[in-house]
Structure 1
Amino acid sequence: MLPSPSTRPSLPAASEEESPYQQYVYAYPHQKAYRLLDDGPLLSDLWAGERLDALSFYAHIPFCEMRCGFCNLFTRTGAPEEVTGAFLDTLERQARVTREALDAQGRPLRFTLAAFGGGTPTYLTADELVRLCDISEDVMGVDLRAVSWSVETSPATATADRLAVLAERGATRLSIGVQSFLDEEARAAVRPQKREEAEAALGRLRDARFPVLNIDLIYGIDGQTERTFKVSLDAALAWEPEEIYLYPLYVRPLTGLSTRHAAGPAEWDDQRLRLYRFGRDHLLSAGYEQTSMRVFRRIGTAAVEDTDGSSISEYNQQAGMVGLGVGARSFTTDLHYTTDYAVAVPEVRRIIDDYIATPSDRFRRAQWAFRMDGDERRRMYVLQHLLESSGLDTAGYERRFGSRFEDDFAPQLDALLGRHWLRDGGGVLRLTPEGMARADGIGPMFFSATVRENMRAYRDR
């Protein structure tokens, strides 16, 4: 049993008055903590000590047909085919160099997970999707028909010809961002989308018979109430999706909504918490189980793992991730690496242009990166498990790291137990229902001082 909160140090963590919506913790650390290396290590050296028999593959496609008002992802809108074609040329060059580094280990490669994310991968034409699949299979050696493979799409780009390519190549999970089935809410989120367009796309997705369909919805839009949120929830449920993700709306610098949300901070937090609880309870009563703050899976649905933020869990981030494309991250035990990152449109375009112009030899070395020491690996592990409904097994933590979670993170544990946001069930720590509601505020409590400082020093662009 864990010691009583009163026997440990007083709370250094955030006060209860702070917003429960601090940051979406889908990977640790955030790319804002990465820094450009003067002389990054060779990929062949980085991967020398890694397992190669259970790799994950991620291709980042940084293109969309439109940019939603809430979006702070690395993506460009309206790219012409000469740009997407040049991007795929570069991605293939990067893939060949990366495969050489993996082959240099002299051991067989095996990929078990794959994902195409972005951006919107289905912004690519059907022919370009064929080429992306060919690069994944023929160059990287990913057997797309044999792995759990997830692809993100949008109502406007989920066309029959594109979906036919993905179905024929074996995609197991399609995730579509609908966000709201009400046209007025879509407009309020700066997402010019009609319900009939979303419904038509969902019909095409169901006709393609992908094993898992996921529908993304957002709560916290200006004017949204439990009544209007129920309209979207019921519209999504009518398609009987295997998964539904509920995302709280965030307003970030350099996005279309950065100065456009009407509610004050406390009022907005209250709205989001109310809508979250309503949506959670509605989905649970409809036969879904909750696996994290965002993820609801229809009971009886087998989990389809994806590497774009989730494996069984949306926070899984194990070493062995191989990322291709500007904005993609790769994870080894000691180093996480990627390319430059931005949100502002001019900077995104510049970075994509720089990526396309990158000589192949530069892909042989890690560029933007964050070094993972034992302390950072502990923090990543905690975030992978504590923010999930399965919880954190304290004995498993001790076996893995040779130290006790209760000692390593006593202040955070004291804070969570003291607020009744965490409970101990026979050595497994799980967030309470109220703790799960506040997962986006709990996750940052486990960030290291280094990560916090790097993120503070990052200049938004």
Structure 2
Amino acid sequence: MTSTTDITGTADAGDPAAGGPYRSYVYAYPHKTAYRPLGGHPAGRPPLRELWAGEPKDALSLYLHIPFCEVRCGFCNLFTRIGAPDELSTRYLDALDRQAGAVRDALGDREPVRFASAAFGGGTPTFLTAGELERLCDIAEKRMGADLLSVPLSVETSPSTATADRLAVLAGRGATRVSIGVQSFVDAEARAAVRPQHRSEVEAALGRIRDARVPVLNIDLIYGIDGQTERSWLFSLDAALAWGPEELYLYPLYVRPLTGLGRSARVAGAADPAWDEQRLRLYRAGRDHLLAHGYEQVSMRMFRRAGAPRAGAEDHACQTDGMIGLGCGARSYTSTLHYSFDYAVEMREIRGIIDAFTAAEDFSRAEVGRYVTGDEARRRHLLQSVLQAEGMRTDGYRERFGSEPFADFPRELGLFARRGWLDPSAGPGLLRLSPEGLAHSDALGPELFSPSVRAAMAAYEAK
């Protein structure tokens, strides 16, 4: 097993730029590599009923995880496996149904339980057949009580699985957003990223998504692929813009341990200043291109077309509201504990975790996780707020924690200010990143990790 040095952000703690601009993509805090088996309860693992007792449940987010893909891309370190042989998808949905029943029972009925948003992710949810997608929606609605026709529902797909029958099911059951991983419209670049697809296949899938009339189309693109130039990058952007997507996500390529690219010549996690410079140059070119074409920057990665409908819930805030994750790769959040199942990247390990999940009968307790209280809760709130282009209102932080962010994090915020990553024009009461701060989000985010989370991530052995 190899240490996940690319995830820990182990650069010089005195300078967030010391490890380069691409230390870690921080989409949640703490990362699952900081989770550990849960105990400390008289009966062993903590019961979900106790964890959710007294928690606000009127604006929850619901996430259903499908850990199957038709292929595994070279850059992918998501919790997913190739294929679902021997009716594995049926057994997985059976287990998901059992888990949903146990979780809904644990939420109880003493306080109102309402889901403000829902999402199907993976893996590739549309790996499931149309009939299986119907069942997935039934689990969300009939077991969990989510009203998919009245809340935002986002679904991830791929070019080869975005078929008309699957899209018809999703549109009919209330999908408001479909996100498709294209990565590049240049076939040679797709091959370099170990993404076996042809542009013709991508264009056909985009046509089917538009025909399904789902309100929001998101297209994912990747920059930093071997052989990619600014010209070819802009070619992919223009090919995507031709479809008028409501959203675009621009991802820097990462090479991580135990992935296809991680086993290639480039060493995962190794410093590469020339590659960093290439990715920064392509990011800036892509950002400026989208801004010139009427898109607004929401975060380092996310761009929304001006006037497009918002895909998220108006009354759910990831910093404060709870999340229910169903499936062996999903995580759940209470106000004090983040929990999930075991985490792996290597295919054999993932298969074992999925097999254990499908065989499980008791889903009434939390398996692995990490408590997020006190200083950790402050870090999470600051991190998830400031990485958004709109920034963070300091009065909201003060109201929640009774303190000021600059008093709580003088070293980190002082460093960001000295590097020009904070926007001095934001005015009093607003902590907002400058354009260069947004560009360096993947260096800035890891700098807000606590010493204990850093230690736990550094001690994690990749599997």
Q: Normalized against structure 2, the TM-score is what?
A: 0.93
Tell me, yes or no, if the aligned pair for 1:304 and 1:312 is still in contact at 8 Å: no
Q: Distance in 2 between matches of 1:458 and 1:356?
A: 25
* Equivalent of residue 247 in structure 1, options 243, 251, 254: 251
Residues 1:219 and 2:220 are matched in the alignment: no
What SS does structure 1 have at the residue aligned with 2:250? strand
* Equivalent of residue 144 in structure 2, options 140, 143, 162: 140
Deviations 1:84-128 (A, max 9, x none): 00000000000001111112x522211110000010000001110
Tell me, yes or no, if the aligned pair for 2:331 and 2:339 is still in contact at 8 Å: yes
Deviation at 1:397, TM superposition (A): 1.3
> Which residue in 2 is equivalent to 1:7?
none
> Which residue in 1 is equivalent to 2:8?
none
Residues 1:13 and 2:14 are matched in the alignment: yes
Q: Distance in 1 between matches of 2:223 and 2:255?
A: 12
* Equivalent of residue 292 in structure 1, options 294, 299, 313: 299
> Which residue in 2 is equivalent to 1:330?
332
Q: What amino acid maps onto 2:32 in structure 1?
A: Q
Q: Distance in 2 between matches of 1:187 and 1:16?
A: 31
Deviation at 1:45, TM superposition (A): 0.7
Deviations 1:287-326 (A, max 9, x none): 100010000000011211179xxx988xx35431011000
> Which residue in 2 is equivalent to 1:33?
34
Q: Distance in 1 between matches of 2:366 and 2:243?
A: 43
Q: Distance in 1 between matches of 2:245 and 2:155?
A: 15
What SS does structure 1 have at the residue aligned with 2:396? helix
> Which residue in 1 is equivalent to 2:3?
none
Deviation at 1:266, TM superposition (A): 0.6
Residues 1:56 and 2:61 are matched in the alignment: yes
Tell me, yes or no, if the aligned pair for 2:412 and 2:448 is still in contact at 8 Å: yes
Tell me, yes or no, if the aligned pair for 1:222 and 1:262 is still in contact at 8 Å: no
* Equivalent of residue 99 in structure 1, options 98, 104, 114: 104
Distance 1:460 1:451, change over 3 A: same
What SS does structure 2 have at the residue aligned with 1:132? helix
* Equivalent of residue 322 in structure 2, options 320, 323, 340: 320
Deviation at 1:359, TM superposition (A): 2.0
* Equivalent of residue 276 in structure 1, options 272, 276, 283: 283
Q: What amino acid maps onto 1:328 in structure 2?
A: A
Q: Distance in 1 between matches of 2:435 and 2:104?
A: 44
What SS does structure 2 have at the residue aligned with 1:422? coil
Distance 1:15 1:28, change over 3 A: closer
Distance 1:99 1:17, change over 3 A: closer
Q: Extract unaligned runs of 5+ from structure 1.
A: 1-10
Q: Distance in 1 between matches of 2:28 and 2:165?
A: 33
Q: What amino acid maps onto 2:386 in structure 1?
A: L
> Which residue in 2 is equivalent to 1:358?
360
Deviation at 1:262, TM superposition (A): 5.5
Residues 1:368 and 2:368 are matched in the alignment: yes
Deviations 1:213-250 (A, max 9, x none): 00000000001111000110000000000000000000
Distance 1:348 1:271, change over 3 A: same
Matches within 5 A, 1:59-458: 59-80=64-85, 82-103=87-108, 105-260=109-264, 265-305=272-312, 316-360=318-362, 363-424=363-424, 425-427=426-428, 428-458=430-460
Tell me, yes or no, if the aligned pair for 1:63 and 1:78 is still in contact at 8 Å: yes
Deviation at 1:12, TM superposition (A): 5.2
What SS does structure 2 have at the residue aligned with 1:136? helix
Deviation at 1:148, TM superposition (A): 0.6
> 4+ runs of 1 displaced by more than 4 Å?
261-264
Deviation at 1:170, TM superposition (A): 0.7
Tell me, yes or no, if the aligned pair for 2:59 and 2:316 is still in contact at 8 Å: no
Deviation at 1:327, TM superposition (A): 1.0
Q: Distance in 2 between matches of 1:201 and 1:188?
A: 21
Tell me, yes or no, if the aligned pair for 1:150 and 1:306 is still in contact at 8 Å: no
Q: Distance in 1 between matches of 2:398 and 2:105?
A: 37
Q: Normalized against structure 1, the TM-score is what?
A: 0.93
Q: Distance in 1 between matches of 2:175 and 2:312?
A: 12
Tell me, yes or no, if the aligned pair for 2:69 and 2:124 is still in contact at 8 Å: yes
Distance 1:165 1:183, change over 3 A: same
Q: What amino acid maps onto 1:350 in structure 2?
A: G
Tell me, yes or no, if the aligned pair for 2:36 and 2:369 is still in contact at 8 Å: yes
Q: What amino acid maps onto 1:22 in structure 2?
A: R
Tell me, yes or no, if the aligned pair for 2:151 and 2:313 is still in contact at 8 Å: no
Q: Distance in 1 between matches of 2:285 and 2:192?
A: 21
Deviations 1:321-350 (A, max 9, x none): 011000110100011110011000000000
Q: Distance in 1 between matches of 2:208 and 2:14?
A: 47
